[in-house]
């Protein structure tokens, strides 16, 4: 049996650069894995076929991303028919929250199955499979904790993990569809160019809080004003910067670790948790252990 931690991500910036002929959008984003993790356990069983169970009944259907990833792995690695596998998924990352939870479950599973079967697929092949499941899945099929992503999100370049900060996350408790946000962006953006174009020459391997920007934020905020309220309250609480992650609605604030009294920050997280019904997480960058 193996147990895998599937981390959430935040987008430190997300620029939408234009439409693509395949219906997706060209993006430029910096993704950071954080230490808020689902847990996947894999157990090889005697009888052939796959069993899947999840503590969230909404995700137990046959079309969920974990089962799609598993089927794709076994057919590509020519292991179909040989697998007798029980998969258990414990959800901690909120669903449809802009934190890549489903993508992480799928990408982490691909990595785990490859390990369990002694690496029949290369990292490049895993990334190719991951991209068939979703735009964010490749990031979770590789081991690095942070990456710049281009294309529709699947072309990755590893960068340094941002571990100088605490990440304080607040989820307003509504589910947001990524497709809905991108569709509305396409309708309302008037093809305006992302702010990125002004600063394209900047060295993108480094990061500073001034780089934080999300072209999708205004779309989700218009429909859910609580996103803007949360962002304001994180800034008032002393966050260095605050931003909606992905297509939202989760908002996170960055607090520089060397400047922050961690006891006071834990206390703040507890107070916010009472206001937001437990949908508050104080985390650090993902270290993989």
Footprint of ligand C5P (CB under 6 A): 24-25, 27, 134-136, 152-153, 178-179, 182
Tokens of 31: 């993704």
Residue of 220, 274, 210, 270 lying closest to 250 (CA atoms) = 220
The torsion angle over the Cα atoms of residues 50, 40, 14 and 192, rounded to 10 degrees, is: 30
User: Of 195 and 259, which has the nearer Cβ to ligand C5P?
Assistant: 195
As measured in angstroms, the least distance from the Cβ of 81 to ligand C5P is 29
- Pick the catalytic residue: 9, 35, 105, 215? 9
User: Of 152 and 213, which has the nearer Cβ to ligand C5P?
Assistant: 152
Is residue 9 annotated as part of the catalytic site, yes or no? yes
Is the Cβ–Cβ distance between 39 and 108 less than 8 Å?
no
User: Of 177 and 287, which has the nearer Cβ to ligand C5P?
Assistant: 177
Is residue 179 annotated as part of the catalytic site, yes or no? no
As measured in angstroms, the least distance from the Cβ of 6 to ligand C5P is 16
As measured in angstroms, the least distance from the Cβ of 179 to ligand C5P is 4
DSSP code at position 202: S
Separation of alpha carbons 182 and 215, rounded Å: 10
What is the C-alpha end-to-end distance of the chain, expressed in Å? 17
- Pick the catalytic residue: 35, 38, 105, 136? 136
As measured in angstroms, the least distance from the Cβ of 27 to ligand C5P is 5
Tokens of 37: 């993790």
Residues serving a catalytic function are 9, 136
């Amino acid at each position: 049996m193996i147990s895998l931690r599937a981390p959430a991500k935040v987008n430190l910036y997300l620029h939408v650069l234009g439409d693509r002929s395949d219906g997706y959008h060209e993006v430029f984003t910096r993704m950071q894995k954080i230490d808020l993790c689902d847990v996947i356990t894999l157990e090889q069983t005697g009888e052939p076929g796959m069993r899947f169970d999840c503590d969230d009944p909404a995700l137990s259907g046959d079309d969920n991303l974990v089962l799609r990833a598993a089927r794709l792995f076994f057919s590509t690695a020519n292991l179909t028919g040989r697998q007798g596998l029980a998969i258990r998924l414990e959800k901690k990352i909120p669903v449809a929250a802009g934190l890549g939870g489903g993508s992480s479950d799928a990408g982490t599973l691909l990595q785990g199955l490859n390990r369990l079967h002694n690496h029949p697929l290369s990292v490049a092949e895993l990334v190719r499979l991951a991209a068939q499941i979703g735009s964010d899945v490749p990031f979770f099929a590789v081991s690095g904790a942070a990456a710049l992503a281009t294309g529709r999100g699947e072309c990755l370049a590893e960068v340094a993990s941002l571990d100088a900060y605490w990440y304080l996350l607040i989820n307003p408790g509504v589910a947001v569809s990524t497709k809905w946000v991108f569709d509305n962006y396409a309708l309302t953006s008037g093809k305006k160019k992302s702010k990125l174009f002004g600063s394209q020459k900047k060295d993108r391997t480094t990061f500073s809080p001034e780089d934080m920007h999300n072209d999708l934020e205004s779309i989700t905020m218009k429909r859910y004003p609580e996103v803007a309220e949360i962002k304001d309250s994180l800034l008032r609480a002393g966050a260095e910067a605050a931003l909606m992650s992905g297509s939202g609605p989760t908002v996170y604030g960055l607090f520089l670790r060397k400047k922050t009294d961690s006891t006071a920050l834990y206390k703040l997280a507890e107070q916010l948790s009472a206001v937001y019904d437990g949908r508050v997480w104080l985390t650090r960058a993902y270290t993989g252990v």
